[in-house]
Structure 1
Amino acid sequence: MNDTPGWASPGSAPSDGQDATVPGQAAPADDAAPSKWSAAQPPPGQWSPPSTPAGGPGGPPPPTPGWGAPGQGGGWGGNWGKPPAAKPGVIPLRPLGVGEILDGAVSTLRTHWRTVLSVSLVVAVISQISDILVQRYLIPEPIAVDANAGAAEALRQTADSLQGSLAAELPSLLIMLISTIFSTAILTVVISRSVVGRPVTLPDAWHEARPRLAQLLGLTVLVPLISVLVIAVGILPGVLVGSDAGAALAVLGGFAAFGVVVWLMVRFSLASPALMLERQGVVASLRRSAKLVNGTWWRIFGIQALTFVLIMFISLVVAIPFSVIALLADSSGLDGLLAGDTPSFGWPFLIITGIGAVITNTITYPIAAGVTVLLYVDQRIRREALDLELARAAGVSADSTEQPGRHAPGN
């Protein structure tokens, strides 16, 4: 392994050719390091039956201070277990819990805030300005739907309305796509460096991420296209039937297709870190993600769902005050809303809500990217003993809390 974010070369990941439950072998991290053990070691343990008091006839000598038996407060935390895992960066190098993944994402934002906020703020500002211009000049009036129409006619009107909405939102979707690509690429590099405790500047992150942008674009486009295709296949039979029964069939097919899409989204959710950090291709990254997620789908789904709820909560906390201020500042839109008509918001409303959206995206982009990358790292630690390679890259022992550049007393 090299000590850059590219932790594995294409096709060299241990799980590509072996059982995912077998951890990869790695040489000890400190083979060449001088021994840090003291020359004066405690005497070997002399065990006796529990009924014989310590120090009694035939019993062992009293325990040496500092090397207490289990439960007596000696040794490592009062037991003979393994010492704590090393934590050279934002996470400990061991399998992570849900709280540690979320905390790692927030810690990355806090530790490397200059680089992280530079990326997320610039992307958020550019994307929001573009979105405001699209909403102001390109989005047409919504298509009216007759509430008294029959089932077949209502289905046709709904399809027309969805088609019109999709056409109107296409520029915004393209803006969001480009924003996602740039933020994901650069933030993935920043977060991968923060795992091993290494600083990274924005030019460094851009230099590392730039060669992967084209493939990341292909991945970012391919996954939504697969989702659209699945939904189209699900509702197509009902649309072709074209009666009340066809409408019911389209609804059932749509629900089934939505379930398949959710399953695929979780299964492919680790593809972007695999593409960026392992230098994988688009299809190989999808396969890699499916292999890492296999057997832990529900856990990854739960963590991502919790992250989504957290991001939505942050968005509401920021957006609601800005929306209220925007409504008060835009009297024309507020009058139309109070009258029950479709409000026509002007520049004050769009600008103020746009500021709120910039703040929201600046905070949530790093959190979402951080959870995805740390989930990928966690899965590789669990399946492939990646913690040993990360410890070597950080210059620490995998089972030590020693930080890079620090030495034990007396060494």
Structure 2
Amino acid sequence: PGYGPPGHGDPGYGHPGYGPPGGWGGPWGGPPPAAKPGVIPLRPLGLGEILDGAVATMRTHWRTVLGISLAVAVVTEIVVVLLQGLYLDNTAVLDDPSATPEETLRAAGGSLLNSSVVLLVTAVAAIAATALLTPVMSRSVLGRPVTTGEVARDIRPQLPRLCGLTLLLPLIGAAIIGVGTLPGILVALGGSTAGGAALAALGGMAASVLATWVLVRFSLAPPALALEKQSVRKALGRSAKLVNGSWWRVFGIQLLARVIAGVVGSVIAVPFTVLAGVLTGNGLGNFLDGTADLGWSFLMISGIGGVIGSALTLPLTAGVTSLLYIDLRIRREALDLELARAAGVERPGPGPTPGS
């Protein structure tokens, strides 16, 4: 319509094929949309498309995704429950008014160490889930089916490197924070407890900022290693190169994904925590005022909620990280053209580029 010869007196008369609508002066529909063989369009992605792509992968390949994330969640929760059950009683001296400063400092250090180890284990689980679920994300982008066996065959040759990278990244963060807090700890051990604690707190905060900056730069190393089959060192360098110039965007999107995952995980875990308090005789009141006896029964029942929450939230954060890696390669290396060829689709046009 609009491309037939105009009548006498119509705009464009004497120039067949250019009459309105749709001709010169008519509305332009813009470039055609980008191809979308899978869960994302093959062009630079916006925040909403990254989150939608992660959720769509969970829905489309839920058996494979749930199987992998559930295995990671079970192993992680077992380690966390054992740590809490074995070392939680050491913090009782913190509530004892008759405890000496040395006992209080020792108990506080043990509590901090326990919390740090639990955080380290949780970080290892997140990195492992990202590496294991990256092949699922890559196939879902191409619109291809995937099974757990295919993921295992794809990951098996890279498993030693993935294990090394999974342990290395949290250790880098822990080492930076440890160096920052070490002067304060030494001062406290030398006799100046208050001064040492203040120095350790300041050093820990400064080191935490540096550790966050470093870990965000290396956060795309797991998908880089899993998809590009590189060494650990080259995967770290690849991640740093991709994140360079986009640090705040990568940090913001990953932070948002973790906040969403934390809210969802808490909603799932709270009922199990309340149930554990009721079944173990502690009651909700004792749990809220800190007087509950957190024994093995309580930890195991609440741990079930932790497993379910982690199994549902790990794929979200892993999917977001993998799609950030793909998005940055599309923006900088035209990966969308390679993906379109791999998916066997003609890429009709770039489509609009989101500004986020």
TM-score normalised to structure 1 length? 0.73
Q: Is the 8 A contact 1:234 1:253 kept in 2?
A: yes
1 CA distance for matches of 2:333 and 2:288?
Answer: 62
1:92 alignment partner, one of 13, 29, 41: 41
Which residue number corresponds to residue 61 of structure 2?
112
Residue in structure 2 matched with residue 191 of structure 1 by the alignment: 137
- Equivalence for 2:169: 223
- 1:54 paired to 2:3: no
Looking at structure 1, the residues matched to 288 and 38 of structure 2 have their Cα atoms a distance apart, in angstroms, of 56
CA contact under 8 A between 1:115 and 1:202: conserved in structure 2? yes
What percentage of residue pairs aligned between the two structures are identical?
51
Separation of aligned partners in 1, 2:114 and 2:251: 31
Write the distance in 2 (CA, Å) between the matches of 1:254 and 1:165. Answer: 12
Distance 2:184 2:220 in 1: 34
Residues 140 and 391 of structure 1: is their aligned pair in 2 closer, same or farther, counting only changes over 3 Å?
same
Alignment partner of 1:260 is 2:248: no
- Determine if contact 2:130/2:322 at 8 Å carries over to the other structure: no
CA-CA distance at 1:241 after TM superposition: 4.2
2:266 to 311, 316, 324: 316
- CA–CA distance in structure 2, aligned partners of residues 137 and 229 of structure 1: 24
Q: CA deviation at 1:392?
A: 0.5
Give SS of 2:93's match: coil
- Asked whether the equivalents of residues 238 and 245 of structure 1 are also in contact (C-alpha less than 8 Å), the reply is yes
Report Cα offsets for 1:32-52 as digits up to 9, x if no partner.
xxxxxxxxxx79x99xxxxx9
2:197 and 2:331 mapped to 1: Cα distance? 46
Structure 1 residues 229-378: aligned runs within 5 Å: 229-242=175-188, 243=192, 244-331=194-281, 333-334=282-283, 337=286, 342-346=291-295, 348-378=297-327
Q: Which residue of 2 aligns with 1:16?
A: none
Letter in 2 for 1:122: A
CA gap of 1:194–1:166, structure 2 versus 1, over 3 A, is same
Query: 1:230, 1:133 → 2: CA distance?
Result: 26
Match of 2:354 in 1: none
Cα 1:223/1:379, change in 2 over 3 Å = same
In the alignment, is the contact (CA less than 8 A) between 1:54 and 1:62 conserved in 2?
A: no
Offset of 1:287 from its aligned partner?
0.8
- Partners in 2 of 1:231 and 1:174 — Cα distance? 12
Contact 1:54 1:61 in 2 (8 A): no
- Is the aligned partner of 1:125 residue 2:74? yes
Contact kept? 1:181, 1:217, Cα under 8 Å:
no
Q: Which runs of 5+ in 1 are unaligned?
A: 1-41, 47-51, 73-77, 402-411
Tell me the CA shift for residue 54 of structure 1: 1.4
RMSD over aligned Cα atoms: 3.3
Which structure: greater helix fraction?
Answer: 2
Are the counterparts in 1 of residues 136 and 146 from structure 2 also a CA contact under 8 Å? yes
**Equivalent pair of 2:65/2:136 in contact (CA under 8 Å):** yes
Q: Partner residue of 1:210?
A: 156
Distance apart, 1:368 and its partner CA = 1.0
> Following superposition of structure 1 onto structure 2, how do residues 35-46 of structure 1 map, counting pairs within 5 Å?
none
CA 1:268–1:92: 2 relative to 1, 3 Å: same
CA distance in 1, matches of 2:87, 2:94: 21
| 1:132 positional shift | 3.6
| 2:334 alignment partner, one of 385, 388, 392 | 385
Q: How far 1:225 sits from its partner (Å)? A: 1.8
1:46-72 per-residue CA deviation (whole Å, 9 max, x = no partner) reads 9xxxxx96144xx52354798545654
- Deviation of 1:263 after TM superposition, in Å, equals 0.6
* Matched positions, count: 340
> What secondary structure sits across from 1:391 in the alignment?
helix
Alignment partner of 1:102 is 2:51: yes
Amino acid at match of 1:162: G
- Partner of 1:166, secondary structure, is helix
Give the TM-score taking structure 2 as reference length: 0.83
> What amino acid does structure 2 have at the position aligned with 1:185?
A
For 1:147 and 1:138, how far apart are their aligned partners in 2?
Answer: 17
- Secondary structure at the aligned position of 1:141 is classed as helix
Letter in 2 for 1:199: P
Please say which structure displays the higher CA radius of gyration: 1
Cα offset for 1:123?
A: 3.0
Q: Which residue of 2 aligns with 1:162?
A: 109
